[in-house]
Structure 1
Amino acid sequence: MNMKVEKAAVVVIGGGIFGCATAYYYTRNYPGRKIIVLERNELCNAATSRAAALMTRIRSKKAFIPLSLETYNAISAMEQQLGESMDVKRVGVMHVAATEGSVKELEALMAVAAEFGEPTSWISNSEAHNRAPWLNTEEAIRIGYIPGEAYCDPYLLGTFYARCAKMQGADIRQGVTVTEVIMDGQTAVGVRTEHGEIRAGKVIVAAGAWAPLFAAQAGIGLPMAPVRSQYWITDKAGIFPADSPIVLLPDAQAYARPEGGSLLFGIREKKSFAASPESIPADIHHFSFSPDKGMQDLSEVIEKLARFFPGVYDVGLRYYVAGFSGYTPDNNLTMGIPDGVENLLLATGCVGAGIAVSGGVGRAFAALAAGEPNPYDFSSFDIHRFGKIDPLSPEWLERCAMARSLKKSG
């Protein structure tokens, strides 16, 4: 039986937020060139839809900042294009520092904000409590407020990218499983699916937790691992105003944001959970992230959290949400062009920041796929910075899991 062979300028493996954002920028900036996005399930149904979606602009890792700022540009442009609001919640963020070490880190962060022209202010403990009545500020030494920060509905952002990309000519296909990256020696020339082959000038892997498996087909040990992110959403209560700011609690290794009259909060577990990409089913909904809905992990750190959120002991927990983020030992993104392989691009390793940086990532990979220079500095995201690694080994998975456990920032 003869399998169908199609041709495209670019083929993207994965219809999550990175794949959809890349299609949006590629069709916008390079009209008339054919890009095909292949998603085996529904668009944005894995990591994207499970994200807490803090759209953090100002971070200690400066290389992330231009990428996040571009996401805000994209949202404005897409809202205008579609004539719809994404209802981004521009509530700002409060950084609560309760140790001298955290104060120094916060002061450095506020200096970074000034460097990028981002408004900031120092606010009193009582003002912080008034803005977030659930927050106990007794132990806080300094509280910084950055009003320009926001959060969003991550699924909506991903589908906005996809809808605008389709309007601009992208071919986005759901229910199509890519089985293989087709290699001709050291050159990626397309992908194989159960329906046939698609030959392309550039192949982009944007497959989230499964990206290391596709990279391995091109002989690349992709330095990232699927590490579980988890958060809870409380019952509704008057102490959780819908317009309350995001709150980052580095001394509790926790974050929180409003969720329609409830509070969404997440923690960094003492022992984060990583899985081999080989063990994760094609449909993430069939994966058991935590039989006890994270309660053991929460119980191990709840005392630290309760210093700032004493109501955590009493409030009802209505929802538990978990998903995989692609983590690395240094909590930097892992993406770009691998050495020694032609025409393969890897849009991977989101380290829990995928929603925030999606605009910059999409713009960067659209440019790279068009054979143009990357508009951003990806040097700290270099795929080869850890040397030769085995992304499926227990040792590597443990290194990446530990990076999340030790992470303090939002």
Structure 2
Amino acid sequence: MNKNNTTIPKADLVIVGGGIFGCAIAYYFSRNNPDKKVILLERNELNNAATSRAAALMTMVRSKRSYIPLTIETFKVAKEMERELGETLDFKNSGMLHVAASDAKVKALEELMQIAKEYNQEAYYISPEEARKKVPWLKTDEALKIGFVPNEAYCDPYMLGTFFARCAKRQGAEIRLGVEALGLLGEGDKIVGVKTSEGNIHTECVIDAAGVWAPILANEAGVGLPMAPVRSQYWITERSELFPVDSPMVLLPDAQAYARPEGGSLLFGIRESNSVVESPKKVPRDISDFVFSDDDGMNDLIENGEKLARFFPGFYDIGIKYYVAGFSGYTPDSQLVLGEIPGVKGLLIASGCCGAGISVAGGVGLGMAELAAGRINPFDYSEFSVKRFGEIDSFSNDWLERCAAARSNKVSG
């Protein structure tokens, strides 16, 4: 850690990383602490890495109960920001179909429907005929049970992240673009500031929200962050009458696939058997410089397409127009990495989105902002503990492969 005492103006909170987590934290902290100064640092442009490349399924009803209150908060704050700015985020409240085609997935769906009841979320079963009317491309012959959750949505992730940033700025947050965090300033077991490309900032609290690069900054404090950059990828088809713009999203756990409308096309993702993973130290600072696939994921489509074709017979006939890939921070248990670090004061972590970062952004932002202000977190972050895997090496091959396996085995959106 650098102990240089040359400073630029002090802040109460410095957030490193201008993705949706960082922007959300800045929004809540500036809203709830109008007398305190928050600075957000982003070396590139806001929301330009994982956030802008997300499929952005805003799934409230999911098997991980710990995520549900966080997503409910996202829906709540989205409406508040729309009122504040007098603009719409244009959430697409299309609902979600859950198609179970095996006994194991039927059991999982039944558990999911029970979870929906626990959280007072509308959810019910529909017939294969009803499902086909809602989703013309869907083949339901193998479906044993189909659940429908009507209030689920998807959104433009870049726009949501930008709303957080714009509202935060209106509330007094200082957003510095083109400024890179180079290291941490420490005194004993306490972090007291950030060394940046424009000088040092002293602060009461630093939040590491640097996305897939977060382990690099955490390593400055001697902390092995339990996540790794794992490739997420999806494809967008040509336009077709098979894909009405108002049709529901679809989860196909038996095919390890998801799909949603995209302006008259279909956006879909399939889990490959060996997910691509990279060391945080080798991910370029500008994500667009990384080659995610030499063939736009065609080999992965060939390998896994048969599973999707069981439910989407037109899969082999429809043209593919776009390929989108990016890195998400995955953990072996597919849980977030949030909160305090035992033994290190003045440093908080907001990381490990596990492909759900857009939907949980509201709960992450509010909870982390309250922790940074020294108040009680309104959410239960116990499952997201930074130290839950013990001491780990964030950059070792064994660790990277453990995290990659979590995505390969994922069956949700």
Residue by residue over 1:204-248, the C-alpha shift from the partner in whole angstroms, topping out at 9 and shown as x without a partner, is 000001000000000000000010000000010000000000000
Matched, 1:161 2:164: yes
Counterparts of residues 291-330 of structure 1 (less than 5 Å): 291-330=294-333
Q: Which segments of 5 or more consecutive residues in structure 1 lack a partner in the other structure? A: none
Please, which of 225, 228, 233 is the counterpart of residue 230 of structure 1? 233
Which residue is 1:138 aligned to? Answer: 141
Which residue is 2:347 aligned to? Answer: 344
The 2-side partners of 1:225 and 1:170 are apart by: 29
Which residue is 1:382 aligned to? Answer: 385
The 2-side partners of 1:378 and 1:177 are apart by: 28
Identity within the alignment, %: 60
Tell me: CA distance 1:207–1:2, structure 2 relative to 1, closer, same or farther (3 Å).
closer
Which residue is 1:106 aligned to? Answer: 109
The 2-side partners of 1:3 and 1:25 are apart by: 29
Q: Partner of 1:343: helix, strand, or coil? A: strand
Corresponding letter in the other structure for 1:147: P
Q: Do the aligned partners of 2:338 and 2:349 also contact (CA within 8 Å) in 1? A: yes
Q: Partner of 1:67: helix, strand, or coil? A: helix
Residue by residue over 1:4-60, the C-alpha shift from the partner in whole angstroms, topping out at 9 and shown as x without a partner, is 522000000000000000011011111121000000000000000000000000111
Displacement, 1:163? 0.3
Which residue is 1:239 aligned to? Answer: 242
Counterparts of residues 6-405 of structure 1 (less than 5 Å): 6-405=9-408
Q: Partner of 2:146: helix, strand, or coil? A: strand
Q: Do the aligned partners of 1:3 and 1:195 also contact (CA within 8 Å) in 2? A: no
Corresponding letter in the other structure for 1:29: N
Corresponding letter in the other structure for 2:65: K
The 1-side partners of 2:275 and 2:287 are apart by: 18
The 1-side partners of 2:308 and 2:184 are apart by: 45
Deviating 4+ runs (over 4 angstroms): 1-4
The 1-side partners of 2:83 and 2:124 are apart by: 31
The 1-side partners of 2:378 and 2:7 are apart by: 36
Q: Do the aligned partners of 1:333 and 1:351 also contact (CA within 8 Å) in 2? A: yes
The 2-side partners of 1:315 and 1:186 are apart by: 58
The 1-side partners of 2:116 and 2:7 are apart by: 52
Aligned residues, how many? 410
**TM norm structure 2:** 0.98
Corresponding letter in the other structure for 1:41: N
Residue by residue over 1:227-277, the C-alpha shift from the partner in whole angstroms, topping out at 9 and shown as x without a partner, is 000000001000000000000000000000000000000011110011000
CA RMSD, Structure 1 to Structure 2 (Å): 1.0
The 2-side partners of 1:385 and 1:194 are apart by: 33
Corresponding letter in the other structure for 1:206: A
Q: Partner of 1:236: helix, strand, or coil? A: coil
The 2-side partners of 1:194 and 1:57 are apart by: 39
Displacement, 1:387? 1.1
The 1-side partners of 2:199 and 2:6 are apart by: 5
Displacement, 1:3? 5.3
The 2-side partners of 1:260 and 1:32 are apart by: 43
Q: Partner of 1:210: helix, strand, or coil? A: helix
Displacement, 1:2? 9.8
The 2-side partners of 1:310 and 1:50 are apart by: 27
Q: Partner of 2:327: helix, strand, or coil? A: strand
Q: Do the aligned partners of 1:4 and 1:195 also contact (CA within 8 Å) in 2? A: no
The 2-side partners of 1:359 and 1:386 are apart by: 26
Q: Do the aligned partners of 1:327 and 1:350 also contact (CA within 8 Å) in 2? A: yes
Q: Do the aligned partners of 1:53 and 1:154 also contact (CA within 8 Å) in 2? A: yes
Corresponding letter in the other structure for 1:366: A
Q: Do the aligned partners of 2:5 and 2:200 also contact (CA within 8 Å) in 1? A: no
Residue by residue over 1:176-226, the C-alpha shift from the partner in whole angstroms, topping out at 9 and shown as x without a partner, is 111111122211111111110111100000000100000000000000001
**TM norm structure 1:** 0.99
Q: Partner of 1:390: helix, strand, or coil? A: coil
Residue by residue over 1:99-151, the C-alpha shift from the partner in whole angstroms, topping out at 9 and shown as x without a partner, is 01000000000000001000111111011111111111111010000001000
The 2-side partners of 1:217 and 1:283 are apart by: 21
The 2-side partners of 1:286 and 1:133 are apart by: 38
Q: Which segments of 5 or more consecutive residues in structure 2 lack a partner in the other structure? A: none
